[in-house]
């Protein structure tokens, strides 16, 4: 069950100073996979165990879930994984801009809180400013993976990504949804949805060499989207 947190409440609007890569990971030279909305963290706990040649960072707005995930990480002794409590749309912008070149190699946003009503669209996690920050930090050829079990949510996300013109949809998902998750691990939500024979909508994007869009223009175009 999703436990929604209102990201626009005053408490979550306070920017947090996040630690740099050398403070987070034993080997800060490894490429990093950023998972936005990491929830209880089981996806990243398994991924970090399977792929020790990657660093993994999960950011989550629900602190109790971050604390629980960090306890599991410590028990497993994983030095290539960390979980951080923050509002991605408030605290990630400056942190991403300070990252070493080519450090951020992959971003995933999986089954975000849907905020179904259109008037709540501003509460959804993938907003124009965050997308531009991600595009700025991801070099050409790097990946952005998104998935949801709610069609209008994933359509809103894909529309925003494509409005930016910073990403090309991968050949495997061009014009259709990816049939399979490209990762060897599924999130808890994905397992639940598939176990109940419900659809999952997935898209994989590759960062191209286009320059960053104007934030004001992207904001306006995003607000005009119907979904």
**Ranges of H-type helices in 101-182:** 128-137, 151-164
Say whether 113 is catalytic: yes
Helix, strand, coil shares of the chain, percent, nearest 5, are 40, 15, 45
d(CA 44, CA 54): 11
User: What is the side-by-side order of every strand in the sheet holding 55-60?
Assistant: 81-85, 55-60, 32-36, 104-110, 143-148, 201-207, 167-169
CB 204 within 8 A of CB 182: yes
d(CA 33, CA 39): 15
* Catalytic residue, candidates 93, 113, 149, 214: 113
Three-state secondary structure string covering 191-220: HHHHHCCCCCEEEEEEECCCCCCCHHHHHH
What kind and span of H or E run contains 83? Answer: strand 81-85
The sign of the dihedral angle between the CA atoms of 87, 112, 161, 101 is positive
Q: Name the residues annotated as catalytic.
A: 113
């Amino acid at each position: 069950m999703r436990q929604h947190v209102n990201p626009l409440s005053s408490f979550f609007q306070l920017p947090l100073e996040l630690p740099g890569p050398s403070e987070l990971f034993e080997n800060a030279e490894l490429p990093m996979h950023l998972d936005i909305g990491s929830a209880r963290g089981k996806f990243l706990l398994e991924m970090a165990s399977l792929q020790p040649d990657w660093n993994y960072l999960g950011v989550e707005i629900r602190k109790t879930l971050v604390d629980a995930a960090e306890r599991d990480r410590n028990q497993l002794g994983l030095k290539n994984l960390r979980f951080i409590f923050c509002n991605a749309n408030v605290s990630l912008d400056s942190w991403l801009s300070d990252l070493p070149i080519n450090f951020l190699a992959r971003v995933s946003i999986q089954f975000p809180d849907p905020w179904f009503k259109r008037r709540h669209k501003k509460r959804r996690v993938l907003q124009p400013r965050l997308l531009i920050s991600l595009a700025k930090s991801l070099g050409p050829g790097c990946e952005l993976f998104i998935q949801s079990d709610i069609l209008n949510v994933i359509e809103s996300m894909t529309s925003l990504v494509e409005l930016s013109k910073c990403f090309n949809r991968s050949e495997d998902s061009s014009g259709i949804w990816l049939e399979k998750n490209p990762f060897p691990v599924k999130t808890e939500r994905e397992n639940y949805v598939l176990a109940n024979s419900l659809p999952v909508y997935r898209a994989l994007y590759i960062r191209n060499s286009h320059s960053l869009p104007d934030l004001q223009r992207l904001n306006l175009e995003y607000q005009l989207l119907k979904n």
